Amino acid sequence: YQKKDRHVDGCRLDDADAQRGSNIFGTAPAALLVTDALIPGPKDSPQDPLPRPQFSSRGERDNALHEQVLGCLRRDGTVLIPVDGGGGRILEVLLMLEELYVRMQGGLDRYPIALLSTVEPHPSTLLEVARSHLEYMAASLAQGFEASRDNPYTLRRLKCCTSKEELLRKCGPGPKIVLCSPKSCEAGIAKELLVEYASVPRNLILFMEKPEPSERGENGGPTVAARLFDAVERAKDEAFQQTRRRDFYGCTIKIGVTKRVPLLGSELRTHQINEQQKKRKRAAEEAEKEEAEKEAVTKKKHS
């Protein structure tokens, strides 16, 4: 069972044939469903007495999400949303943010939205593919396009970036919404931005789904996203034990970050000496090899 989203319709595998049919484009949706499946289970463990946020509808969930985003932007903070770089949830989140901006009637136009990725596919390529495949997406998107001729993925507020420098150039240093990959925040620009943004209290790190516990990080342990998520949950649980409210007052996790730094002083001199020694050694080995080849040729001629 595939739950209905903004960008795709729902689907039931036991009723797939009945759902197939022509849409307004005159084409039939794909007959192949590709998905990653998890075993469904209760959201809360029976042994867990602590209350967890529950939403009765998608509208209630979206309203809570909108409040979090608006609150962060209005206190001059930046919203970081780690997402998977292959599409799917990126498209859903972009449509959700577009709805929020339209609903605010221009009140959020000064806050840019950035889609940042340093790996393939390029953010602009992803949107081009989405714009050209509406027939395989939600019927509501196709019907809206048929009525207005305005493609839902023509996101005029969105800035596509492939580096941190481009992000700063297009969106400036002020408050903004940044979607970046990978969602695990284990490496790359996502990890760099997480370290930078999470250290500022007015910013918001927003995970659209719970990190997969089976996903492993660089050292075989949990990913950065999973560690951060668990640390926040533990902090809320501790607050609940004391105040009976799952308020979040902050938490701390250690994240290892590697950087390239220039060599200076004695380290630089040692490096230069080692490089010169390596060059002399390679030159001597090549000279010996050439001499041995010449001797072999001379012996062959005399024989």
Q: Which CATH number fits domain 58-209: 3.40.630.30, 3.40.718.10, 3.40.50.10890, 3.40.50.261?
A: 3.40.50.10890
| Cβ contact 177:81 at 8 Å | yes
Peptide bond into 121 cis (omega under 30): yes
Domain boundaries, the chain: 58-209, 214-246
3-class SS at 116?
Answer: strand
- Which token pair is 101? 């901006």
Residues in contact with 203: Cβ distance below 8 Å, sequence separation at least 6, in sequence order: 72, 77, 78, 79, 80, 197
* Each residue's pLDDT tens digit, 9-23: 666 555 545 545 544
Q: Where are the alpha helices (DSSP H) in the chain?
A: 16-19, 58-74, 89-103, 123-131, 139-148, 164-171, 188-198, 224-243, 265-302
Name the nearest CA neighbour of 123 among 96, 83, 165: 83
Q: Residue 155 has what pLDDT?
A: 82
Q: Residue 81 has what pLDDT?
A: 92
Q: Residue 203 has what pLDDT?
A: 94
Distances 158 to 115, 116, 163, 256 between C-alpha atoms, Å = 7, 10, 15, 31
Type of residue numbered 271: H
Give me the residues of the chain with pLDDT under 50, please. 1, 16, 19, 22-27, 39-51
Q: Residue 177 has what pLDDT?
A: 94
Q: Residue 73 has what pLDDT?
A: 93
Q: Taking the CA atoms of the chain, what radius of gyration do you get in angstroms? A: 27
Q: Residue 281 has what pLDDT?
A: 94
Q: Residue 58 has what pLDDT?
A: 73
Q: What is the pTM assigned to this prediction?
A: 0.70
* Each residue's pLDDT tens digit, 172-196: 999 999 998 887 888 888 888 998 9
